[in-house]
A and B are shown apart, each in its own frame.
Chain A
Amino acid sequence: MSVGLLLLAWELYATYSGIKPTTLPAPSRVLAQAMLNREALVDNAIPTIRATLLGFACSLSVAFALSILVDFFQPLRRALFPVFIVSQTLPLVAIAPLVVLWFGFGLAPKIMLVALVTFFPMLVALVEGYESTEAEIGQMLRAMGAGRWRVFVLARLPSALPYFFAGLRISITYAVVGAIFAEYAGAAKGLGIYMLNAKNNFRPDLVLAAVGVSAALTLVLFGLTVLLQRLAMPWEGKQTAGKRR
Chain B
Amino acid sequence: MSRLELRHVRKAFGGLDVLADISLSVGAGEFVSVLGPSGAGKSTLFQLLTGAEHGEGEMLFDGAPLDDHGRHFAFMPQRDALMPWRRILDNTTLGLEVQGIGRKAARARVAPLFAEFGLAGFERHFPAQLSGGMRQRTALLRTVVQERDMLLLDEPFGALYALTRTAMQRWLERMWRDHRWTALLITHDVREAVFLSDRIYVLSARPARIVREIKVPLPRPRSLGSDAARQASALEAEILDIILNPTHPKETTMTDLTRRQALLLTLATGLPLFAGSGRARAQSAAQKVTVALDWTVNTNHIGLFVARDKGFYSEAGLEVGILPYSDTGAGTLVANRVADFGINGTISLFTQKAAGADLKGVYAVVQSETGRVVFNAARSEIKRPRDLDGLIYGGFGSAWENALIGTIIRHDGGKGNFETVTLGTSAYEALANGSVDFTLEVSTWEGVDAELKGIKQRSFVYADYGVPDEHTTLISSSEAYLEANPKPAAAFVQATRRGYQFAVDHREEAAALLVAANKDTLTNPALIEASLKMLVDGHYLRSQSGAIGTMDTAKMEAIGDYLFASGILRDANGKVLTQRPDFAKYFSNSALG
Q: Which residue on A lies nearest to B268, using beta carbons? A: A78
Q: Is the CB of B273 within 8 A of A83?
A: yes
Contact indicator A145/B70 (Cβ below 8 Å): yes
Identify A96's interface contact among B95, B131, B327, CB under 8 A: B327
Is A145 a contact partner of B326 (Cβ separation < 8 A)?
no
Q: How far is the CA of A139 from the CA of B282 in the complex (A)?
A: 55
Complex Cα spacing A239 to B261, Å: 29
* Interface flag for B586 (CB, 8 Å): no
Chain B residue nearest to A181 (CB atoms) is B327
Instruction: Determine the distance from Cα of A2 to Cα of B269 in the docked complex, in whole angstroms.
Output: 47
Contact of B520 among A44, A97, A161 (CB under 8 A): A44
- Considering only residues 144-196 of chain A, those with a C-beta below 8 Å from chain B are 144-146, 150, 154-155, 158, 161, 184-189, 193-194, 196
Select which of A37, A131, A139, A193 is within 8 A of B75 by beta carbon: A139
CA distance A81 to B71 in the complex (A): 39
Say how far B562's CB is from chain A's closest CB, in angstroms.
28
Q: How many A-B residue pairs have CB under 8 A?
A: 207
A-facing residues in B129-177 (Cβ within 8 Å): 129-132, 135, 146, 152, 159-161
Residues of B within 8 A of A189 (CB): 324, 520
User: At the interface, yes or no: A212 with Cβ under 8 Å from chain B?
Assistant: no
**Interface-forming stretch among A49-57, A100-108, A222-230?**
A100-108
A89 at the interface (CB under 8 A from B): no
- In the assembly, what is the distance between CA of A189 and CA of B519, in Å? 12
Q: List A81-123 residues whose CB lies under 8 Å from chain B.
A: 81-85, 87, 96-97, 100-105
Looking at A37, A146, A202, the one whose CB has the most chain B CB atoms below 10 A away is A202
Other-chain contact of A143, B52, B325, B327 (Cβ < 8 Å): B52
Residues of chain A within 8 A of B127, CB atoms compared: 235
* Cβ of B260 under 8 Å from chain A: yes
B50 touches which one: A78, A142, A161, A239 (CB < 8 A)? Answer: A142
Q: Which residues of the partner chain A approach B95 to less than 8 Å between Cβ atoms? A: 144
Chain B residues with Cβ below 8 Å from A140 are: 75-77, 81
If A134-B79, A154-B98 touch, does A235 touch B327 (CB 8 Å cutoff)? no
Instruction: Give the shortest distance, in Å, between B102 (CB) and chain A (any CB).
Output: 15
Cβ contact within 8 Å between B50 and A143: yes
Residue from the list B47, B51, B79, B523 in contact with A201, Cβ < 8 A: B523
Interface string of B423-463 (1 = CB under 8 A from A): 00100110011000000000000000100010000000000
Q: Is the CB of B519 within 8 A of A193?
A: no
Q: Are B523 and A235 in contact (CB under 8 A)?
A: no
Task: Please measure, in the bound complex, the distance between the C-alpha atom of A78 and the C-alpha atom of B152, giving whole angstroms.
Answer: 37
Contact A81 B524 (CB under 8 A): no
Q: Are A161 and B85 in touch, CB under 8 angstroms?
A: yes
Task: Give the number of chain A interface residues (Cβ < 8 Å).
Answer: 71
A136–B267 CB distance below 8 A: no
CB distance from B309 to the nearest CB of A (A): 17
Name the B residues within 8 Å of A100 (CB-CB): 326-328
Identify the closest chain B residue to A186 (Cβ). B326
Q: Encode contact with A along B36-77: 1 for CB under 8 Å, 0 otherwise.
A: 000000000001001110000000000000000111011111
Interface residues on B, range: 35 or more
* Majority secondary structure, A binding face: helix
A243, B128: Cβ atoms under 8 Å? yes
Write out, one digit per residue, whether chain A residues 189-230 have a CB within 8 A of any chain B CB (1) or not (0).
100011011111111001000000000000000000000000
- CA of A76 to CA of B273 in the docked complex: distance in angstroms? 12
Q: Beyond A87-B273, A102-B279, A240-B129, is A40–B99 a contact (Cβ under 8 Å)?
A: no
Task: State the CA gap A112–B181 with chains docked (Å).
Answer: 60
- Check: B465 CB closer than 8 A to any chain A CB: no
Stretch of B199-207, B331-339, B495-503, B571-579 lying at the A interface: B331-339
CB distance from B103 to the nearest CB of A (A): 13
Tell me the smallest distance from the CB of B228 to a CB of chain A, in Å. Answer: 30
CB-defined contacts of B324 to chain A, threshold 8 Å: 105, 186-189, 193
Q: How far is the CA of A17 from the CA of B60 in the complex (A)?
A: 89
- Is A245 a contact of B159 with CB atoms below 8 Å? yes
Interface residue? B94 (CB, 8 A): yes
The reply to whether A244 and B135 contact each other, CB–CB distance below 8 Å, is: yes
- In Å, the complex CA distance between A79 and B269 comes to 5
CB distance from A33 to the nearest CB of B (A): 8
User: Chain B: residues with CB nearer than 8 A to chain A?
Assistant: 47, 50-52, 69-71, 73-79, 81, 83-85, 94-95, 97-99, 126-132, 135, 146, 152, 159-161, 260-261, 263, 265-273, 276, 278-282, 295-298, 323-328, 332-333, 336, 338, 425, 428-429, 432-433, 449, 453, 519-524, 527
11 further A-B contacts with Cβ under 8 Å, apart from A79-B268, A140-B77, are A81-B265, A83-B272, A101-B336, A143-B50, A144-B95, A185-B327, A193-B324, A194-B521, A240-B128, A242-B132, A244-B132
